[in-house]
Amino acid sequence: MKNRECLRDIKVKYLQKMIGDYYFMRNDALILEAAEFGRYLRQEERAESTVKKYLRDLQAFLLWLDGRPLNKEATAAWKEQLLRQSYAPATINSMLAALNTFLRFTGRDACRVKFLKLQRRLFRDEGRELSREEFDRLLAAAQALGRERLALLMETISATGIRVGEVKYITLEALRRGRAEIALKGKIRTILLPAKLCRKLQKYARKQKIASGEIFRTGSGKSLHRRQIWAEMKALCQHAGVARSKVFPHNLRHLFATAFYRACKDVVRLADVLGHSSIETTRIYLLTTGKEHRRALERLGFVT
């Protein structure tokens, strides 16, 4: 009994810190359910980034709820609140996904809300489209500034299509084999590593005196955090003359997908390489820019 109470106190203190004393005093039961929800997500082997995103979105909902009853009227009102705040439809759906998963976990299926219906996008936002020429400028800027680790990291993601959270699987052992075994979301996939990349990273490992394990580490030997990678890439923008809106780790994965598809024209194979369960997800990576879409419309020749 005492052990159970101690565990409960730990959960309460964790969520009290996360959500705040004011809300904690108003709704103890939901706080405890939120703690159990986080544990459930990890037991389901959700990616840590997904767990944090779901808990952040749940935190926003609970703060907005402010002690009122959690019922269908409340969740529907939350959806309307998100719409009024001018979030992008895809962002709203991701926040509703977190809430619906929590509601299902706690047996409140009747309170779940429907997602917004989104029409398929026909083209990608030009303001976020990173070109190969812009990538080369970013790479040159990193090298000129002496950011060797960052330059190699950018080359690695763009040459393999791995997620930023999968960088930890690029190990010295993987370089020697010429392939990396990536375990994520309950699946394991094998990524082939280009020979030239393996040679460059092994040379870097020798220089850094890395005898085994991860190649990309902090100065203290810990794994690089995605926020650190994001910040280091953003710091290159001014030097490279590339818009900040285009520079973030996931865009290198998009760059890889576009180049890979142009080379092989095989969307099924690309989906396997990227680790997608659905080809519909892969299709998003292959959207043309608005400029390319406009050129296609011009070629129709209906306006004389």
So what's the pLDDT on residue 121? 65
DSSP assignment of 10-60: HHHHHHHHHH-HHHHHH-HHHHHHHHHHHHHHHHTT--HHHHHHHHHHHHH
DSSP annotation of 289? E
213 conformational bin, left if phi > 0, alpha if psi -120 to 50, beta if neither: left
Location of structure tokens 């052992």: 173
Q: Which residues lie across from 179 on neighbouring strands?
A: 192
Point out the residues of the chain with pLDDT beneath 70: 1-28, 119-123, 185, 288-293
So what's the pLDDT on residue 302? 82
Neighbours of 44 (CB within 10 A): 13
Q: Are 151 and 195 in contact (CB under 8 A)?
A: no
So what's the pLDDT on residue 10? 41
So what's the pLDDT on residue 195? 96
CA distance 90 to 284: 13
CA distance 184 to 174: 16
